[in-house]
Structure 1
Amino acid sequence: MKISIFSNPGDASKQVSDALKAKIKAEKLTLDDEHPDIVITVGGDGTLLTAFHHFRDQLATIRFVGIHTGHLGFYTDWRDYEVDELIDSLAHDNGQSVSYPLLDIFIKYGNGQKERLLALNEATIKKVTGTMLANVYIKDQLFEVFRGDGLCVSTPTGSTAYNKSTGGAVLSSELKAIQVSEIASINNRVFRTLGSPIVISPNEWVRVEPVNSDENLMTCDQMMVENRLIDSVTFRISKQRINFAQYRHTQFWKRVSESFIGVKPND
C-alpha cells in the first residue's frame, strides 16, 4: 500500500505527521506522494479540502483518511493521539471505503474560454460590489431572475458549511443531490425570488447567467475565481465521488449532532 501524508504547517500537525511517517516505515508500508492509494491529512477540514484539490485527478484510485489536530471536523475521523490505532488499521486494510457526492462546476467566460471545477463542499457566485442580477435556469428553463448578494450551491456534506449559514437545509450524505441557497436575496413588490433553498436531483442542472459579466466573483471550496468576466456557470452533481477509508468512518448525522447540538452517544 502506498501512503501520502498531507499536513498543514502547524507545529502540532508536524509532530503527528513525523510520527506517522516513522511508524509507516516501521510497518514496511510505502510512502508515496505522487500516486498514493491512501492520503492521510493532518490538520482539519481545511487541510483535507486542500488535499482533495491537490489529488483531484486521482480520485478514482485514492481513499482519504483525516486526522484532526484542532477542533472536530466533518471529514476527519481520527484524533492526533490515535496514531498507533490508525497505523494498525492501515496494516490490516482490506479496501473498505465510503463515498460522498461532489459538485461539478462549468464556467463559461466572456472571452469564450471554458473551465471545469470540482467542489467537495460548495461553490458560490457573488457580485463584488452592489447587487448581483442574474437569470437562473433549471434544465435550461428560466426559473427566476435573482437579485441579491449571490448564490451558494452545495453538496450534501457541504450543506453543513456556508450553505447552513445562508439558511439552507442540512442534506443527508446518502442523497445524490445538490442544494442552491440564496445569499441576501432582495424580495419586495417589484423584485421576487423563490426565497427558499432548492434541492436539485441528479438528472437536473442549474445555470446562472449574470446580467452584467463584470465584478462577479466565483468560489470553489477554498479557491477563488476573480477578475474574469463570467458569462454563465452551470452546476450539477458530478459523476466523480470522494472516497474515505472506512476504518471507523463517523456516521454523518452523528457528526452533525456533535458539531451543532453538542449531543454525544449515550447523553
Structure 2
Amino acid sequence: MKIAIVANDSIESQTVKEKFESLIKESALTIDQMHPEVVISIGGDGTFLSAFHQYKDQLDSVCFAGVHTGHLGFYTDWRDYQLEELIEDLQNDDSRAANYPLIEVEVSYSDGKETGKFLGLNECIIKRNDRTLVADVYIKDELFEHFRGDGLSVATPTGSTGYNKSVGGAVIHPRVNVLQMTEIASINNRVFRTLGSPLVIPSDEWITVQVEPADDYFISLDQLNIPQAGLKEIRYRIADERIQFTGSRHTLFWQRVKDAFIEEYKD
C-alpha cells in the first residue's frame, strides 16, 4: 500500500511525521507522495482540509485518514501515540470505512472570462468586505428570495458542524446527500424579507446566487479564497465525487459530534 503524508508545520506534527515515516520503512507500506492509495494528515482539521485539496484530483483512487496532534479533530481518528496501531490497521484493513458528499461550486463572471469550478469538503461562504450582501437566490433556476444581509453559507453535511453550525444551521448526518444554505445575519423588516431559516437542498437540485456588480466580494471554499473580481453568480450542487475514509477507527458520526462538542476534552 502506498502512503502519502501531509503534516502542518508545528514541531509536534513534524516530529510525529518523522516517526511515522520511520515506522513505514519498517513495514510493508511504502511512501508515495505523488500517487498514493491512502493520504494521512497529521495535525488538525485544517491540515486535513489541506490534504483533501492537495489530492482532490485523485479521489477515485485515494482515501484518507487523520492523526491529530493537538485538540481533538473532527476528521482525525488517531492520536500521535497510536502510530503503530495505525500502521497495523493500514496493513490489515483495505476497506473504506465511510464516504462523504462534497460540494461543487461554479463561479461565473460578468466580463465573460472562463467559468471557474471548485470542489470543497466543508462549505462555501460569500460575503462583502464592508457592505451588505444583496443577492437573488434561485433554487433549480427559479427565484426563491431576494437576500440582504451579511452573507450566505452553503455547506455539506460534514461542513454542517463548522461555520454553518455557528450561524444557526442544523447538524446533518453525512449519509444524507444534501446541501444546506444558512443565512448570515439576514435583514428582515417591512421592506426586506427572507426565509430566515436554514434551507436543505436535495442532491437533484441546486442553488444559484446572483449578485450585484461589485469588486469587494469575499468568497471562501474551505480554506481557499476564490477569485471574485467581476463576479456574476455562484452555483452550488452536490458533487459527483465523494471523499473516502479508511481504517477501523473511523467512528460513528454522532459519536464524533458528541466527542467534538459535548464531551469534555481530555488529553
Would you say same fold, with TM above 0.5? yes
Aligned residues: 264
Normalised by the length of structure 2, the TM-score is 0.96
Query: What is the CA–CA distance in structure 2 between the aligned matches of 1:258 and 1:107, rounded to whole Å?
Result: 36
2:70 paired residue number: 70
Gapped regions of structure 2 (runs ≥ 5): none
How far has the Cα of 1:263 moved from its partner? 6.9
How far has the Cα of 1:97 moved from its partner? 3.1
The Cα offsets for residues 12-43 of structure 1, whole Å up to 9 and x where unpaired, read as 11111111111111013110000000101000
Query: What RMSD over aligned residues (CA atoms) do the two structures have, in Å?
Result: 1.2
1:228 paired residue number: 229
The Cα offsets for residues 130-171 of structure 1, whole Å up to 9 and x where unpaired, read as 111000000000000000011000000100000001110111
Larger mean CA deviation between 61-70 and 204-213 belongs to: 204-213
1:18 aligns with 2:8: no
Normalised by the length of structure 1, the TM-score is 0.96
Q: How does 1:122-161 map to 2 (within 5 A)?
A: 122-161=123-162
1:215 paired residue number: 216
How far has the Cα of 1:226 moved from its partner? 4.5
1:199 paired residue number: 200
Structure 1 SS opposite 2:102: strand
Q: How does 1:1-267 map to 2 (within 5 A)?
A: 1-112=1-112, 113-226=114-227, 228-262=229-263
Query: What is the CA–CA distance in structure 1 between the aligned matches of 2:151 and 2:68, rounded to whole Å?
Result: 32
Larger mean CA deviation between 30-39 and 240-249 belongs to: 240-249
**Aligned residue type for 1:105:** V
How far has the Cα of 1:96 moved from its partner? 3.2
How far has the Cα of 1:90 moved from its partner? 1.4
Query: What is the CA–CA distance in structure 2 between the aligned matches of 1:96 and 1:132, rounded to whole Å?
Result: 41
Query: What is the CA–CA distance in structure 2 between the aligned matches of 1:244 and 1:94, rounded to whole Å?
Result: 11
Structure 2 SS opposite 1:153: strand
How far has the Cα of 1:246 moved from its partner? 3.1
Query: What is the CA–CA distance in structure 1 between the aligned matches of 2:82 and 2:174, rounded to whole Å?
Result: 26
The Cα offsets for residues 191-224 of structure 1, whole Å up to 9 and x where unpaired, read as 0000000000011000000123431111100001
Go from structure 1 to structure 2 and tell me whether the alpha carbon gap of 1:227 and 1:211 turns closer, same or farther (over 3 Å shift): closer
How far has the Cα of 1:110 moved from its partner? 2.2
Structure 2 SS opposite 1:171: coil
**Aligned residue type for 1:44:** G
Larger mean CA deviation between 25-34 and 179-188 belongs to: 25-34
The Cα offsets for residues 222-261 of structure 1, whole Å up to 9 and x where unpaired, read as 0012551210000011110000003210111111112211
How far has the Cα of 1:80 moved from its partner? 0.6
Query: What is the CA–CA distance in structure 2 between the aligned matches of 1:90 and 1:255, rounded to whole Å?
Result: 21
Query: What is the CA–CA distance in structure 1 between the aligned matches of 2:209 and 2:244, rounded to whole Å?
Result: 29
Larger mean CA deviation between 221-230 and 15-24 belongs to: 221-230
Contact 1:180 1:198 in 2 (8 A): yes
**Aligned residue type for 1:245:** T
Contact 1:257 1:263 in 2 (8 A): no
Contact 1:110 1:213 in 2 (8 A): no
Contact 1:133 1:212 in 2 (8 A): no
Contact 1:39 1:65 in 2 (8 A): yes
